[in-house]
Structure 1
Amino acid sequence: MASRLFNPFLDFKFDNKTCFLTGEALQSSEEQIQVFPVWMMQAFSLEEKPFKMLDESISTYKALKLPCSIHVAQAFEQVENRVEDAMKKGCEAVKALDTQTLFHWVGKILYGVVFNEIQAGIRQAVMSGEDLNFSQALVHKFRNLHFMLQSLVVSMEFEHVHPFDVQVFSVDNAPETFLYRDEINTLVFSLRMGDFAIVATLQDNGTNAIYHDDVLKMVEGQTLHPIQFEEICARYFYSAYLFNRLPEYTYMETSETIFVEPMPLNDWTLKPIFDNWQTKTYGQVLENFWKPWGYTLFEIIKDPERPMSFILDEQGHLKNNINLPKG
């Protein structure tokens, strides 16, 4: 039985004449959707703001698009409408969204960035006359992300655990706040706006959330200061870097649905799933996330055994009443 899942990585089919999600031939170059939601770009005047690509070139938020068939665009529009409605209502409405809806929303943005990066890489390779040099580990990750994103239009059941995890936090942001981050090598995503923030890991079977379980339990039900959320972000982005597995999935196709089952992350080497946490490296990540507040690496790791934290006090309890600008 031929697979119902489209795999653009077989022949690196990333042109603008093919639907990015299903591989259908498009009738017109006008059949496109925006990577970032139109309502969000308008709300925060993002359309012409610079978006830095991996090759150091500068695009804009509005310029990032995906070739997309009409029926796929309509399916994404339904997701966009549900998420837009929730995000405009606020944190509790966002928390009430199901994980798969949030995955489709986050996944489309992150894969959309990946798609545009690959197109830029292909253009650069053609201009230089060289072959496109692409990591097979990244191909593996992006292919699985793309397969799972097709659950938007193909019946798909995730067995045992979701490959992805989306955490939503209540955050006391300044009204004008919009802060988006991604790391496509590790498939981690964060967004801070309105009265909430999101951290998503798109291919770790929820392992990073387990790794940070103590902190997640501590902040559960709390409204965080932005500097506290950025600390959680730094922890996530660093642990995603330390995550040393390349998750494998089996796809079993039946006439009704596709069953996706994650393979065990433990292997015969018995090597820990995460590499060792290095305080200095974490401090460098945290320094970057805390730029709005100006804390330096020296201040952050002054005590290497107890790096600076706005989440934990000296007794290991949650810090409250933080008297800092919202950043």
Structure 2
Amino acid sequence: MRKFDLEDKPFKLLDESLRTYKQLQLPCSAAVAERIAELDNAVADAFNKGYEAVNEMDRMVLFRWVAKIVYGVVFNEIQAGMRQQALSGEAMNFSQVLAHKFVNLHLMLQSLIVPIQFDGSLPFTIVVVPVDNPENTFNYRDEINTLIYSLRMNDFGLIVCLQDNGANGIYHKAVIDLINGLQLHPIQFEELCARFFYSAYLFNRLPEYTVLPTAEMVYVEPMSLMDMSMKPIFDDWQVKTYGQVLENFWKPWGHTLFEIIKDPENPMSFLLDTEGKPLSSDVITLPRGN
């Protein structure tokens, strides 16, 4: 917050009320605060060094850091909602699906202070890519309902799906493999974000976990995402809806929905050419935005 002068900048909650970034606080014990400080210092060190250091980080450390931020935002959103409901004299009406997700996220955050081992697949997807960002870039997004997060700063971009058991990473594997090793233009990274944010919306499973606590370790195993109905894990991709998501991510460059889906079979892309091959950021003449 100090590096990007965010402390006193306004932050709009879902109820339209404003807070400053430094007012967003998450209560915890002194022991947890100490572990969070250690986590923050480790992440800050890697982020200041740049892409190579971030990409080499233990994925569980990155997951804990992002999960802590998103959980803190969720906590503040819920507190604001409770205050608003109390003023209206109504009981707090909270989605049981979201409550289920937050309970699981809280369980996974215990790995800060309790030894937890995830058996089988990890419960999240993390993507780190090099990005040719302008100096002092800080671009943060999250979506509470789907528990997805993105950050673009320094010379990298980070996308984290906090509770998908790796499904979104598999869903976009072909694109990730194609751009592997390439430095992206900011508009390319924002397109990648739009793809992940939209697929997180299409993800139609509510992950479940088996938990086995022992004296030495808590074992957590993600349960299979397949169910008896054999329904696909992701709902059908709708080009128009994706175009609306992409239009929002591309606001700094002013591309409209009409431009993006002018050819519905081949929506506008700066990641891939018309033959599905990766585009080099060198051929993109657009400004790098912010």
Please indicate the TM-score interval, normalised by the length of the shorter structure. over 0.9
Deviations along 1:257-292, whole A, 9 cap, x unmatched?
111011110000110000000000000000000000
Match among 200, 217, 222 for residue 240 of structure 1: 200
Deviations along 1:136-182, whole A, 9 cap, x unmatched?
00000011001100111011110111101211110000002110000
Cα distance, 1:243 vs. partner?
Answer: 0.2
What is aligned with 1:122? 82
Aligned length: 287
Matches of 2:207 and 2:269, distance apart in 1: 31
Structure 1 contact 164–203 (Cα < 8 Å) conserved: yes
What is aligned with 1:323? 285
Structure 2, unmatched stretches of 5+, are none
Q: Structure 1 or 2: larger helix share?
A: 2
Q: Which runs of 4+ in 1 moved over 4 A?
A: none
Cα distance, 1:70 vs. partner?
Answer: 1.2
Matches of 1:53 and 1:186, distance apart in 2: 17
Matches of 1:290 and 1:73, distance apart in 2: 37
What is aligned with 1:34? none
Q: Is 1:307–2:251 an aligned residue pair?
A: no
Q: Is 1:143–2:133 an aligned residue pair?
A: no
Matches of 2:24 and 2:175, distance apart in 1: 35
What is aligned with 1:71? 31
Q: Is 1:260–2:220 an aligned residue pair?
A: yes
Matches of 2:273 and 2:84, distance apart in 1: 50
Q: Is 1:92–2:66 an aligned residue pair?
A: no
What is aligned with 2:15? 55
Cα distance, 1:69 vs. partner?
Answer: 1.4
Cα distance, 1:245 vs. partner?
Answer: 0.3
Matches of 1:127 and 1:204, distance apart in 2: 36
- 1:84-233 correspondence to structure 2 within 5 Å: 84-233=44-193
Aligned AA for 1:133? N
Q: After superposing the two structures, state which structure 1 stretch, 311-320 or 222-231, moved more.
A: 311-320
Structure 1 contact 163–206 (Cα < 8 Å) conserved: yes
Matches of 1:137 and 1:279, distance apart in 2: 27
Matches of 2:208 and 2:233, distance apart in 1: 14
Matches of 2:13 and 2:46, distance apart in 1: 30
Matches of 2:186 and 2:144, distance apart in 1: 23
Aligned AA for 1:323? T
Structure 1 contact 110–182 (Cα < 8 Å) conserved: yes
Structure 1 contact 99–165 (Cα < 8 Å) conserved: no
Matches of 2:86 and 2:271, distance apart in 1: 49
Matches of 1:147 and 1:316, distance apart in 2: 40
Q: After superposing the two structures, state which structure 1 stretch, 314-323 or 112-121, moved more.
A: 314-323
Aligned CA-pair RMSD: 0.7
Deviations along 1:88-119, whole A, 9 cap, x unmatched?
11100001110110011101000000010111
TM-score scaled by structure 2?
A: 0.98
SS of aligned partner of 1:168 = strand
Structure 1, unmatched stretches of 5+, are 1-40
Matches of 1:295 and 1:288, distance apart in 2: 9
Cα distance, 1:126 vs. partner?
Answer: 1.7
* Identical positions, percent: 63
Aligned AA for 1:324? L
Matches of 1:209 and 1:120, distance apart in 2: 33
TM-score scaled by structure 1?
A: 0.87
Matches of 1:139 and 1:276, distance apart in 2: 26
Matches of 1:197 and 1:168, distance apart in 2: 6
Matches of 1:52 and 1:162, distance apart in 2: 32
Matches of 1:59 and 1:285, distance apart in 2: 26
Matches of 1:267 and 1:226, distance apart in 2: 38
